[in-house]
Amino acid sequence: MPRESKQARLSRMHQEYAVLCEEIPHPKCALNFSNPFELLVATVLSAQTTDKRVNMVTPELFDEYPEPAALASANPEHVESIIHSIGFYRTKAKNIIRLSYALCERFDGEVPQTMDALTSLPGVGRKTANVVLGNAFGVPGFPVDTHVIRVTGRLRWRSDWASGSPDPKAIEREITACFPPEEWTDLSHRLILHGRAICHARKPDCLNCPLNDNCPSAFAA
């Protein structure tokens, strides 16, 4: 592919995103939740585990521990027994108990609505905070997960697309600079859903990809 100017890349990004909007008109978070606390806990549990698997354990977890105060005082072994089918369940059990305790001690049992406050909680990184901000509070957030990293790299939406160890925070900064804040949450959802359905890690389905006419990586993998 010939060298592309920044303006040309930006124009292509918006054209490709318009296609994704047509293909995925109503994106939504794949995690099941009924309040910000449930989404926060579910997102922490989802690290290196599928959302589908998390959705299988959270109904029992939230039935037993419906609010931060209950989970803060939970027996770690009991929490482990509920979530044992997901990856790193022991560490995650400790983290969701500790973050629940922190919510009670520092935020009166309420999930905070700022990036700094959320990331001060045990086990909560920037990606998790962005998920909660965008989906629970309607605050612009752009979660960068493995799908977002892969798809934005293959589409060459970012300058470090060839890097073997891209920085998620740098990706968030570069991609969000190209789209209005009100689009950030849905943009992330659409990239994730496209990555899951079409742009697979090992063998992308370029033949059936709606972006294959413009994608610099089409049919190359």
Strand ranges inside 139-207, DSSP E: none
Is 127 designated active site? yes
Q: Which of 127, 167, 169, 205 is flagged as catalytic? A: 127
Contact partners, residue 45, CB within 8 Å, separation at least 6: 54, 57, 58, 83, 86, 92, 96
Closest CA to 192 of 145, 134, 136: 145
Q: Give Cα 73 distance to the centre of its chain.
A: 28
Q: Which of 51, 145, 169, 205 is flagged as catalytic? A: 145
CA pair distance 83, 91, nearest whole angstrom: 11
CB burial string 39-48: b at 16+ within 10 A, e below: bbbbbbbbbe
**3-state SS string over 69-123?**
HHHHCCCHHHHHHHHCCCCCHHHHHHHHHHHHHHHHHHHCCCCCCCHHHHHCCCC
- Phi, psi values for residue 7, rounded to 5°: -65, -40
CA pair distance 196, 159, nearest whole angstrom: 23
Q: Look up residue 65 and give its amino acid.
A: Y
Is 145 designated active site? yes
Return the active site residues.
127, 145
